[in-house]
Amino acid sequence: MLAESLQRQNRLEESIEVALRAASGPGAGWKPHFTAGVALKELRRMDEACGQFRMAASRAPGKARVLRHLIEAVAVAEGIQQAAVEYTTRCGKRGAGSQIMCAEIRDIREWASGSGAPVLEAGEAEEIPYETPRVRGSSAAVETHCVSVAKPCVAELAGARVFGQSGIVLASDGTALSETAGHPQLGRFVSLADRKLIVANSGGKALLDTSGFQIRHIEAGMLLAGSASNAFGHWFPDFLPRLQFLRRHPDFDSLPIIVDEEMPQAHFDHLRRLAGNPLIRLKANESLVCGRLLMASSPSFVPVHLFPNDVPAREMPGLSPRALRFLRGGEDGNRSDAPRSGRWFLGRRGMSWRRLINEDEIVTELAKAGFKTVYLEDMGMEEQILIFQQAEWIVAPNGSALLNLVFADPDVKVLILSQPGLFNWGTFQGPMRALGYNPVWLCGGNVVAAGQKHSDYQVPVCHVREALQEMGLEELS
């Protein structure tokens, strides 16, 4: 337990030391070896991690997460082919079936140009801005930067196979197509392991196990399904904007859209707001073999998981201003006849990570100035949009709910609460500034795990009050 606690605090070397000491004790089971392996993996000491995971797997051959971590480490340390051998062998010992294949990972445009698949050009290249957030009380210079993304396209595939909740499309020639792991510059930093289809990926290749999927054949469809489609922070900026490119295809109106079945209703509502096509709902354990599949490129670079790396956030094209304008319905999509007098605090009730632990204190203080606390996850799409259209003031912990800011008037006053490490939030700040928004950031202190992106944190109430006063709110003075 101590080793796990140290790991959560990002004290990895100490976690390893404690875990190995526990592993050498009498009656030690699988857990200390596994805990040490996870910390070693985070430190990129993959050979040592493999050893610890193998010890854990020998003591707990039925633990799926031990096997997953082991194969991911082996793929990096010893190669994808060795990972395939080890995975097949260990699945056999567990009595579990597997259908293993190794596939080369490619970008959709790159693959299509080499295979002769039809490609429709769907617009011009875009410069995506990055800007470090403007933090209250900080004198640091604001860094701005732009990253170019390739021209968007729509590729037409024959006989391709898609999988529920997976970011991989398997082309008929056995190539694994991925907009993130196939990215020409950044793909090598992307981890695709999703516990269902992708067992591991490394060196531009993926190890797939297709045994857990039931096959269904369809005649044709347009793809809007994939990994993390049930998360608003991916569905809104990554999946939905592909519609603007798919719309350019002459057959758009006559084709159904493939979506993951297990998404919140608000996700389907946003889709219906933008397109009325019939839907093909893909179950989590299903694989569709598509006679004809239209696949649009992503408007930006939105990976679900990255390997431990040192890629500066400014080099990763985040939110696309063009996509955000499309999502809100054009330049005037954030205009409404509703009076702009709303004062909202966007609560994060029920979250198990990146919690604002003194949220209740802040809510009590804000109520003095007429702020109402809302939980967007409990609201339908139309109600969520109306909240932002009516907003005069917004205070919110950092989170994907802030993507709804595109529906607010650019003059809205926004105070974003955050832990000290802002990580990749410059990929949000830059595009929002390009659209005319000017949020102010207020950083508190981490509770634990200073280096962890999703650490819990707290922001002193007095600092919130002072920040709002500086922004022009008089009621809290």
Q: In angstroms, rounded to a whole number, what is the distance separating the alpha carbons of residues 355 and 399? A: 10
Strands 279-282 and 205-209: unpaired
Beta bridge partners of 153: 121
Q: What is the largest CA-CA distance in the chain?
A: 71
Distances 388 to 22, 255, 262, 325, 384 between C-alpha atoms, Å: 52, 33, 26, 15, 7
Helix (H, G, I), strand (E, B) or coil at 10: coil
Q: In angstroms, rounded to a whole number, what is the distance separating the alpha carbons of residues 46 and 79? A: 11
CA angle 348, 350, 352 (to 5 degrees): 95
Q: In angstroms, rounded to a whole number, what is the distance separating the alpha carbons of residues 85 and 59? A: 20
From first to last of the 477 residues of the chain, give the pLDDT tens digit. 888 888 877 789 999 999 999 999 887 899 999 999 999 998 999 999 999 999 999 999 989 899 999 999 999 999 999 999 999 999 888 777 678 999 999 999 999 999 999 999 999 999 999 999 989 888 778 889 999 999 999 999 999 999 999 989 999 999 999 999 999 999 999 998 766 799 999 999 999 999 989 999 999 999 999 999 999 999 999 999 999 999 999 999 999 999 999 999 999 999 999 999 999 999 999 999 999 999 999 999 999 988 877 788 888 898 999 999 999 986 665 666 667 889 999 998 766 677 888 999 999 999 999 999 999 988 999 999 999 999 999 999 998 999 999 999 999 999 999 988 787 889 999 999 999 999 999 998 766 655 566 678 899 999 999 999 999 998 876
**Conformation bin of residue 140: beta by default, left when phi > 0, alpha when psi is -120 to 50:** beta
**Conformation bin of residue 315: beta by default, left when phi > 0, alpha when psi is -120 to 50:** alpha
Q: Could you give the domains of the chain? A: 2-98 (1.25.40.10), 103-128+138-306 (no CATH), 331-470 (3.40.50)
Burial of 373 (0-12, 13-18, 19+ CB in 10 A): middle
Contact call for residues 466 and 360 (beta carbons, < 8 A):
no
pLDDT for 181-203, tens place per residue?
A: 999 999 999 998 766 799 999 99
- Give me the pLDDT at residue 452, please: 61
User: Could you tell me the sign of the dihedral formed by the alpha carbons of 248, 249, 253, 255, in that order?
Assistant: negative
CA 12 centroid distance within chain: 24
What does the chain come to in residues?
A: 477
Contact call for residues 396 and 417 (beta carbons, < 8 A):
yes
Burial of 278 (0-12, 13-18, 19+ CB in 10 A): exposed
**DSSP code for 133:** -
Strands, E assignment, 100-168:
100-106, 119-121, 126-131, 144-149, 153-157, 160-163
Q: Which residues contact 110 (CB under 8 A, 6 or more apart)?
A: 182, 184
Helix (H, G, I), strand (E, B) or coil at 112: helix
Contact call for residues 210 and 224 (beta carbons, < 8 A):
no
Contact call for residues 82 and 207 (beta carbons, < 8 A):
no
CB atoms within 10 A of CB 103: 21
107, two tokens: 């970008």
Q: In angstroms, rounded to a whole number, what is the distance separating the alpha carbons of residues 33 and 373? A: 45
User: Residues 293-312, buried b or exposed e (16+ Cβ, 10 A)?
Assistant: bbbbbbbbbbbbeebeeeee
Contact call for residues 46 and 56 (beta carbons, < 8 A):
no
**DSSP code for 171:** -
Q: In angstroms, rounded to a whole number, what is the distance separating the alpha carbons of residues 264 and 175? A: 31
Its pTM stands at: 0.91
Q: In the block, which residue shows the tokens 């805990």?
A: 35
**DSSP code for 149:** E
- Give me the pLDDT at residue 287, please: 97
H or E element in which residue 64 lies = helix 64-78
Pick the closest to residue 109 from 179, 39, 47 (CA basis): 179
CB atoms within 10 A of CB 353: 10
User: Could you tell me the sign of the dihedral formed by the alpha carbons of 234, 237, 242, 247, in that order?
Assistant: positive
Q: In angstroms, rounded to a whole number, what is the distance separating the alpha carbons of residues 238 and 44? A: 29
- Give me the pLDDT at residue 360, please: 93
> Phi then psi for 105, rounded to 5 degrees?
-95, 130
User: Could you tell me the sign of the dihedral formed by the alpha carbons of 302, 305, 307, 309, in that order?
Assistant: positive
319, two tokens: 């939110």
Q: In the block, which residue shows the tokens 């070397």?
A: 13
